[in-house]
């Protein structure tokens, strides 16, 4: 038991690395918040654009969605971080993490929003248009409120899954939770910082998962 505590919960290591882990939690929270806002807004915008039925735009959206849903986020992070400098574009590691995860979330959220739009019955469109509303007005005032409500449960799960990928930032030097923990391990040769990182992720994401479950139940019984 003493050996276990010495390896995973060493008091001296906890005391020395706690400030770094707390700093990493701040970076993780900032990255996750930015990814959620950017990814959902972009995904919704693409779904709205797709509803106009422009063939070229729709084909490009489908390609974008398929690419970012198919490729592992780690591959995208490495391509952007190590590939863009080769063409003269250099982004900070935090910006790379934010950009890639936002695009991945946008790809998934676009499909979810689009499925929600398609699930609204055609009669809703026709009734809205018969009152004199244009396509965009009917979409915003009649269709989207129903589509978004339908999309909330699957969107919540996907958003949580993608924001947990902020841990990939450790690969490119983002000082988030895992990055701070692995740096501490390399200096101290002790697994305690990794245990602290796991606890930090639980502190952040257990409430998020609970909130996601509440949102799912809140909206499930009021679907359009």
What CATH number does the domain containing 22 carry?
1.10.3720.10
Low-confidence ranges of the chain (pLDDT < 50): 221, 223-224
pLDDT, tens digit (0-9, with 9 covering 90-100), for 5-35: 888 888 888 889 999 999 999 999 999 999 9
Number of domains in the chain: 1
Token digits of residue 61? 């959206």
User: Contact, 91 vs 167, CB < 8 A?
Assistant: no
Give residue 205's pLDDT. 87
- Cα gap 70→48, rounded to integer Å: 22
Total residue length of the chain: 224
To the nearest 10 degrees (0 to 180), the angle between helices 93-119 and 144-163 is 150
pLDDT, tens digit (0-9, with 9 covering 90-100), for 95-113: 999 999 999 999 999 999 9
- Cα gap 110→133, rounded to integer Å: 24
Give residue 93's pLDDT. 94
pLDDT, tens digit (0-9, with 9 covering 90-100), for 79-90: 999 998 888 888
Query: Which pTM was predicted?
Result: 0.88
User: Contact, 30 vs 101, CB < 8 A?
Assistant: no
120 DSSP 8-state letter: S
Angstrom distances, CA of residue 57 to CA of 47, 48, 62, 205: 11, 11, 9, 36
Give residue 39's pLDDT. 95
Q: Which residue has the tokens 């959620």?
A: 36
Q: Which residues form the domain of 143?
A: 2-220
Token digits of residue 150? 């339908």
What are 195-198's contacts with CB under 8 Å, separation 24+?
Answer: 195/8, 195/9, 196/14, 196/17, 196/18, 196/21, 197/21, 197/24
User: Contact, 56 vs 44, CB < 8 A?
Assistant: no
């Amino acid at each position: 038991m003493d050996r276990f505590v010495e390896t995973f919960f060493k008091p001296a290591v906890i005391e020395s690395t706690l400030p770094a882990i707390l700093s990493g939690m701040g970076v993780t929270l900032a990255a996750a918040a930015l990814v959620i806002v950017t990814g959902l807004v972009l995904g919704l915008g693409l779904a709205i654009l797709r509803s106009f039925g422009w063939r070229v735009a729709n084909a490009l959206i489908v390609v974008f969605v398929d690419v970012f849903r198919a490729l592992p986020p780690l591959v995208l992070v490495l391509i952007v971080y190590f590939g863009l400098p080769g063409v003269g574009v250099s982004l900070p590691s935090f910006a790379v993490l934010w950009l890639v995860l936002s695009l991945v979330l946008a790809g998934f959220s676009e499909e979810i929003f689009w499925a929600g739009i398609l699930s609204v019955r055609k009669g809703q469109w026709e009734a809205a248009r018969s009152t004199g509303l244009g396509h965009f007005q009917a979409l915003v005032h009649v269709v989207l409120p129903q589509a978004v409500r339908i999309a909330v449960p699957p969107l919540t799960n996907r958003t949580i899954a993608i924001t947990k990928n902020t841990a990939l930032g450790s690969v490119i030097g983002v000082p988030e939770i895992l990055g701070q923990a692995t740096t501490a391990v390399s200096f101290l040769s002790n697994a305690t910082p990794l245990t602290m990182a796991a606890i930090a992720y639980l502190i952040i994401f257990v409430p998020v998962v609970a909130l996601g479950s509440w949102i799912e139940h809140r909206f499930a019984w009021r679907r359009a």
